[in-house]
Chains A and B, each alone.
Chain A
Amino acid sequence: MSTLFLADFSVIKPDFGLIFWTVVIFLILYAILGKLAWKPIQKALRRRDEEIQTSIDEAKRARAEMEAQAADNQRLLMEAREERTRIIGEAERQSKEMVAAAKNEAREAAQKVAADAKRDIENMRKAAMVDLKKEVGTMAVEIAEKILQKDLRSDANQEAFVRELVSDLN
Chain B
Amino acid sequence: MTSSARYLFLFLFCFGFGLISAQEVNDHGTAADHGTAGDETDVHQSCDAHGDDYDPAGVILHHIADANEFHVFGDVSIPLPVILYAPEHGWTVGLSSMFHHGETAVDGYVMNHGRVNRIADARATVLEGEHPVECIAHRQETVDGKTSDIYYAKVNGEEYLLDAPSVGDGGLLGGGITSFYDFSITKNVFTMLLAALLLILLWGAVAAGYRKNEGKAPSGVQSLMEPFFVFLRDEITIPMIGEKHYERFQPFIMTVFFFVLFCNLLGLVPIFPGSSNVTGNIAVTMALAVIAAFVAYFHGNKHFWAHTLWMPGVPAAIKIFILTPVEILGLVIKPFSLMVRLFANITAGHIIILSLISLIFIFGANGENVVGAGAGAVVGVAFTLFMNCIELLVAFVQAFIFAILSASYIGAAVEDAHHHDELGHHGEEKIAEGGAMGGAVTGMHTAAN
Instruction: Map CB proximity to A onto B247-276 as digits: 1 under 8 Å, 0 otherwise.
Output: 100111011001100000000000000000
Give the B interface residue count (CB, 8 A).
66
CB of B168 within 8 Å of the partner chain: yes
A30→B252 contact, CB < 8 A:
yes
User: Which B101-116 residues sit within 8 Å CB-CB of chain A?
Assistant: 115
**Cβ B193 vs Cβ A25 within 8 A:** yes
Q: Bound complex: CA of A22 vs CA of B286, how far in Å?
A: 9
Q: Is the CB of B287 within 8 A of A17?
A: no
In the assembled complex, B384 has its CB within 8 A of some CB on chain A: no
Does B379 reach chain A (CB closer than 8 Å)? Answer: no
- Closest residue on chain B to residue A40 by CB atoms: B207
Stretch with Cβ within 8 A of A (4 or more), from B56-64, B323-331, B405-413: B56-64
B45 lies within 8 A of chain A by Cβ: no
Which residues in A have their C-beta under 8 angstroms from that of B64? Answer: 11
A130 vs B58: C-alpha distance when bound (angstroms): 169
Interchain CB contact under 8 A, B282 and A17:
no
Q: CB of B173 within 8 A of chain A?
A: yes
In the complex the two chains form, is A16's CB within 8 Å of B166's CB? Answer: yes
Q: Which residues of A contact B147 (CB under 8 A)?
A: 2, 5-6
**Among A19, A36, A41, residue most surrounded by chain B Cβ atoms (within 10 Å):** A41
Number of A-B contacts (CB under 8 A): 170
Please give the distance in Å from A16's CB to the nearest CB on chain B: 5
Expressed in whole angstroms, the Cα–Cα distance for A126 and B148 within the complex equals 166
Chain A residues, Cβ within 8 Å of B168? 13-16, 19
**Within the complex, which residue of A13, A15, A19, A36 is in contact with B204, where a contact is CB–CB below 8 Å?**
A36
Which residues of chain B come closer than 8 Å to A25, judged between CB atoms?
A: 189, 192-193, 196
Q: How far is the CA of A98 from the CA of B232 in the complex (A)?
A: 85
Smallest beta-carbon distance A57→chain B, Å = 17
Query: Which A residues are CB-close (under 8 A) to B206?
Result: 37, 41
Q: Which residues from chain B contact A161 at a C-beta distance below 8 Å?
A: none
With a cutoff of 8 Å between Cβ atoms, the chain A residues found around residue B66 in the complex are: 10-11, 15, 18
Digit string of B53-88 for contact with A (CB within 8 Å is 1, else 0)?
001011001001110000000000000000100000
* Residue of A with least CB distance to B65: A10
Tell which of B189, B282, B284, B287 touches A13, judged by Cβ atoms closer than 8 Å. B282
What residues of B have a CB within 8 angstroms of the CB of A39 in the complex? 251
Contact of A10 among B61, B207, B214, B252 (CB under 8 A): B61
A66 within 8 A of B: no
Across the interface, name the chain A residue whose C-beta is closest to B281. Answer: A11
* A111 and B56 alpha carbons, distance in the complex (Å): 143
Interface secondary structure of B, over-half rule: helix
Task: Tell me the smallest distance from the CB of B362 to a CB of chain A, in Å.
Answer: 13
CA–CA, A110 and B188, complex, Å: 129
A37-B204, A37-B206, A51-B215 known; A11+B252 contact, CB < 8 A = no
* Alpha-carbon distance A22/B166, docked complex (angstroms): 16
Q: From residue 196 to 236 of chain B, which have CB atoms closer than 8 A to chain A?
A: 196, 199-200, 203-204, 206-207, 210-211, 214-215, 226, 229-230
Interface string of A29-51 (1 = CB under 8 A from B): 11011101111111011000001
Interface residues of B in 134-160 (CB under 8 A from A): 140, 147-149
Chain A contact patch, size range: 35 or more
Pick from B15-23, B175-183, B439-447 the stretch touching chain A.
B175-183
A11 nearest in chain B by CB position = B281
CB-CB < 8 A to A12: which residues of B? 169, 173, 282, 343
- The smallest C-beta distance from A46 to any residue of chain B, in angstroms, reads 8
Q: Is the CB of A26 within 8 A of B291?
A: yes
Question: Is B395 in contact with chain A by the CB < 8 A criterion?
Answer: no
User: What chain B residues lie within 8 Å of A19 (beta carbons)?
Assistant: 168, 283-284, 286-287
- Are A23 and B183 in touch, CB under 8 angstroms? no
Q: Is B185 on the interface with A (CB-CB < 8 A)?
A: yes
B35 at interface by CB-CB < 8 Å? no
Closest B residue to A2 by CB, please name it.
Answer: B147
Question: Closest CB of chain B to A26's CB: distance in Å?
Answer: 6
A4 in the interface, Cβ–Cβ < 8 Å? yes
Q: Contact between B169 and A14 (Cβ–Cβ < 8 Å)?
A: yes
Write the nearest CB–CB distance from B286 to chain A, whole angstroms.
5
> Please, which residues of chain A bring their CB within 8 A of the CB of B175?
13
B358 within 8 A of partner (CB) = no
Please give me the residue from chain A that is nearest to B200 by CB atom: A32
Q: Write the nearest CB–CB distance from A79 to chain B, whole angstroms.
A: 45
Given the interface contacts A3-B57, A10-B65, does A38 sit within 8 Å of B254 by beta carbon? yes
3 closest A-B pairs by beta carbon, nearest first, are A37-B203, A18-B283, A38-B251
What are 15 A-B residue pairs whose CB atoms fall within 8 Å in the complex?
A6-B57, A8-B149, A8-B164, A10-B61, A11-B343, A15-B168, A15-B182, A15-B283, A16-B181, A17-B165, A17-B182, A18-B284, A25-B193, A26-B259, A33-B255
Extra pairs beyond A4-B57, A36-B204 (19, CB < 8 Å): A3-B55, A3-B57, A6-B149, A8-B164, A10-B66, A11-B281, A14-B169, A15-B165, A15-B167, A15-B283, A16-B182, A18-B188, A18-B283, A25-B189, A25-B192, A33-B203, A33-B255, A34-B251, A40-B207
| Interface set of B (CB-CB < 8 Å, partner A) | 55, 57-58, 61, 64-66, 83, 115, 140, 147-149, 164-169, 173-175, 181-186, 188-189, 192-193, 196, 199-200, 203-204, 206-207, 210-211, 214-215, 226, 229-230, 247, 250-252, 254-255, 258-259, 277, 280-284, 286-288, 291, 343, 347
